[in-house]
């Protein structure tokens, strides 16, 4: 058995949008679905399922929207916010992976060039000692000028 659908995603999206736009003209959601379904060429229960599925996705991400209304404009804005949150979440994952990779690469370099890092480390320690001894000499402190005036 193939899992082919009779209606394309564009037709489904357009029909759900039609139901959302004309929902206020009918006393109930079912009445709106019953009037729009024959125009599309599907059974009202199928169209109702599509509408409920689209609203279920919105309800799942409701925490992103304070005043969640089932109107076209707010629903579209809500969808944009939800996608932006998903993109930000993905960027955070990628950033964490890059930081982890750079830390691992640094440790790899440090292990493979251990002797070079030690030489550089001891040189920098010796340089710091020289600088601190030089600055702690009282005569130099008296002659030093502040960097900014």
**pLDDT confidence of residue 13:** 86
Q: How far is CA 85 from CA 8, 66, 70, 81, 92, in A?
A: 27, 15, 20, 6, 11
- Domain limits of the chain? 9-86, 97-143
Question: What is the tally of helices (H) and strands (E) in the chain?
Answer: 6, 0
Cβ neighbors of 12 (< 8 A, separation 6 or more) are 50
**pLDDT confidence of residue 109:** 77
pTM exceeds 0.85 for this model: no
Cβ neighbors of 6 (< 8 A, separation 6 or more) are 42
Q: Which two tokens stand for residue 4?
A: 């082919």
**pLDDT confidence of residue 78:** 73
pLDDT at 112 over 50: yes
**pLDDT confidence of residue 6:** 81
Instruction: Tell me if the domain spanning 9-86 has CATH number 3.40.50.300.
Output: no
CB neighbours (10 Å) of residue 42?
A: 19
**pLDDT confidence of residue 142:** 47
Instruction: Report the distance separating Cα 76 and Cα 87, nearest Å.
Output: 17
Which residue has better confidence, 19 or 56? 19
Instruction: Report the distance separating Cα 42 and Cα 20, nearest Å.
Output: 17
pLDDT for 2-47, tens place per residue?
A: 556 788 888 888 888 888 888 888 888 899 999 999 998 999 999 9
- Average model confidence (pLDDT) across the chain: 72
Most confident of 32-36, 130-134, 144-148: 32-36
């Amino acid at each position: 058995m193939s899992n082919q659908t009779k209606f394309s995603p564009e037709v489904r999206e357009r029909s759900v949008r039609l139901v959302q736009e004309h929902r206020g003209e009918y006393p109930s959601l079912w009445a709106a679905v019953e009037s729009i379904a024959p125009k599309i060429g599907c059974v009202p229960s199928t169209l109702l399922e599509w509408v409920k599925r689209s609203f279920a996705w919105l309800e799942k991400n409701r925490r992103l929207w304070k005043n969640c209304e089932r109107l076209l404009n707010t629903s579209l804005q809500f969808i944009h916010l939800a996608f932006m949150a998903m993109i930000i979440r993905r960027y955070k994952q990628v950033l964490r992976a890059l930081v982890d990779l750079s830390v691992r690469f640094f440790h790899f370099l440090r292990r493979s060039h251990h002797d070079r890092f030690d030489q550089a480390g001891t040189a920098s320690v010796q340089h710091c000692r020289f600088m601190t001894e030089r600055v702690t000499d009282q005569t130099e402190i008296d002659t030093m000028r502040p960097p900014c005036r």
